[in-house]
């Protein structure tokens, strides 16, 4: 062992023990912070050259004090803005009592959370988890058990239909049914039982259903896939097809739920598109903690019996208190009208700029994708945005997403769009 490394470690631990962690953070330069991650972390992320140390609503600051407008919103996780006052207060209050206990015991905070989330979603029961991927895995297990014990599918023959360009998480089961080669390479073998078909194609869906089909799993809008919207009426058609064929409908609203597209959930843009199972997360944690859940109807949720499923941290009192505060903010604020109107203004402003570099603008509410032509250097555009104090990244299909906190001030949002337009002009 390098004696110097040991001394440095002991110094670091002593400083943290003495309550000097914040001063350590603020003493690091932006480059030093990047170097630490590069030296000690795995290389599964390639961050933009920004070291964020402070945030408030839709603004964040780096170590040098430069201000940025957050237009990615942690992939919808900071829907309430950074450090929402009411949610932070709920966190602090809960920390004065208890933070984590096992689901082996009852807990009032968790009970209130289960009741509140079920009521918020208009469904019957909740299975609390931590991450979006865990919520999806929970839905998969519920659907398969329902298929075997209720529908009568032969053992180990259950099929779930998914869609090209999907993104449901990064576990080995989930990446196994991705159509993105980079998510799958060198991670096999993969879990069988999934059938991939084109997104938004009802006829392809009809043809894919067999007697062994137990569920259809889809994002109402494919966020990670490039803000891809299905044809109007597709969600209702999927629901009707599920009813006709005795198949469960699972909507993944982890990124697109909680008023991101202007309605409480994106499936609510159409009539009669209510799912049997709903996967939620990201914004449910109020931008503070990882909180997710599978929410659903009684006839599916009652499949789980003691020992079937669980999570050490899923359904902890601290997460429950934070999630309830996040839901209360949604329920007591006029998010639907505000998000819808702001989204329409953003799209109108971008279209009015008439930029030749833009191939297409897609989205609903504050889930907006700007797809640029192949002639545009998307790497240079990412850096041009950072230089202008705009934080967002390219997703698949050369699309830059605009998913700022839903609480962003209108004038700040319009200023952000001006900067985005300027960045596009600069690189095209």
For the annotated catalytic residues, the residue numbers are 167, 252, 282
CB neighbour list of residue 328: distance below 8 Å, 6 or more residues apart: 86
Residue 89, classified by CB atoms within 10 Å of its CB into exposed (0-12), middle (13-18) or buried (19+), is exposed
Tokens 């060198």 locate to 186
Beta bridge partners of residue 129, listed in sequence order? 292
Tokens 């609510």 locate to 268
- Whether the CB-CB separation of 184 and 216 falls below 8 Å is answered with no
388 phi/psi in degrees, rounded to 5: -95, 10
Residue 267, classified by CB atoms within 10 Å of its CB into exposed (0-12), middle (13-18) or buried (19+), is buried
Which DSSP state fits 73? G
Q: Is the peptide bond before 189 cis (omega within 30 degrees of 0)?
A: yes
Query: How far lies 173's CA from each of 207, 235, 312, 326, in Å?
Result: 24, 25, 20, 30
Question: How many CB atoms lie under 10 A from the CB of residue 344?
Answer: 13
DSSP H helical segments within 147-248, as ranges?
Answer: 172-176, 181-184, 202-208, 234-245
């Amino acid at each position: 062992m390098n004696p110097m490394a040991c001394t440095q470690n002991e110094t670091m631990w002593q400083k943290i023990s003495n309550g000097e962690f914040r001063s350590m953070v603020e003493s690091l330069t932006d480059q030093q912070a990047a170097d630490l991650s590069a030296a000690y972390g795995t290389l599964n992320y390639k961050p933009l050259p920004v070291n964020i140390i402070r945030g408030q609503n839709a603004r964040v600051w780096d170590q040098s004090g430069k201000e940025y407008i957050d237009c990615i919103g942690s992939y919808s996780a900071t829907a309430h803005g950074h450090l929402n006052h009411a949610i932070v207060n709920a966190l602090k209050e809960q920390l004065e009592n208890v933070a984590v206990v096992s689901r082996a015991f009852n807990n009032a905070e968790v009970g209130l959370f289960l009741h509140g989330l079920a009521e918020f979603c208009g469904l019957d029961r909740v299975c609390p988890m931590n991450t979006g991927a865990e919520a999806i895995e929970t839905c998969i297990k519920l659907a398969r058990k329902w298929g075997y014990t209720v529908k009568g599918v032969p053992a180990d023959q259950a099929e779930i239909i998914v869609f090209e360009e999907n993104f449901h998480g990064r576990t080995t089961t989930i990446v196994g049914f991705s159509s993105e080669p980079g998510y799958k390479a060198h991670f096999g073998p993969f879990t069988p039982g999934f059938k991939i078909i084109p997104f938004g194609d009802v006829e392809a869906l009809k043809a894919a259903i067999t007697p062994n089909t137990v569920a259809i799993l889809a994002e109402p809008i494919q966020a990670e896939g490039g803000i891809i919207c299905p044809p109007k009426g597709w969600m209702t058609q999927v629901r009707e097809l599920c009813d006709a064929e005795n198949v469960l409908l699972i909507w993944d609203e982890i990124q697109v739920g909680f008023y991101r597209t202007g309605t409480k959930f994106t499936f609510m843009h159409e009539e009669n598109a209510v799912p049997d199972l709903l996967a939620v997360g990201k914004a449910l944690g109020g931008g503070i903690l990882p909180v997710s859940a599978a929410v659903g109807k009684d006839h599916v949720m009652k499949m789980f019996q003691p020992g079937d499923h669980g999570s050490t941290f899923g359904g902890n009192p601290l997460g429950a208190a934070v999630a309830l505060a996040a839901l209360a903010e949604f329920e007591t604020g006029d998010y639907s009208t505000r998000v819808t109107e702001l989204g329409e203004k953003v799209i109108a402003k971008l279209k009015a700029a008439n930029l030749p570099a833009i191939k297409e603008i897609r989205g609903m509410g504050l889930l907006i994708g700007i797809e640029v032509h192949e002639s545009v250097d998307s790497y240079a555009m990412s850096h041009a945005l950072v230089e202008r104090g705009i934080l967002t990244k390219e997703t698949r299909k050369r699309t830059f997403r605009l998913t700022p906190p839903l609480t962003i001030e209108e004038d700040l949002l319009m200023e952000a769009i001006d900067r985005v337009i300027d960045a596009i002009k600069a690189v095209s």
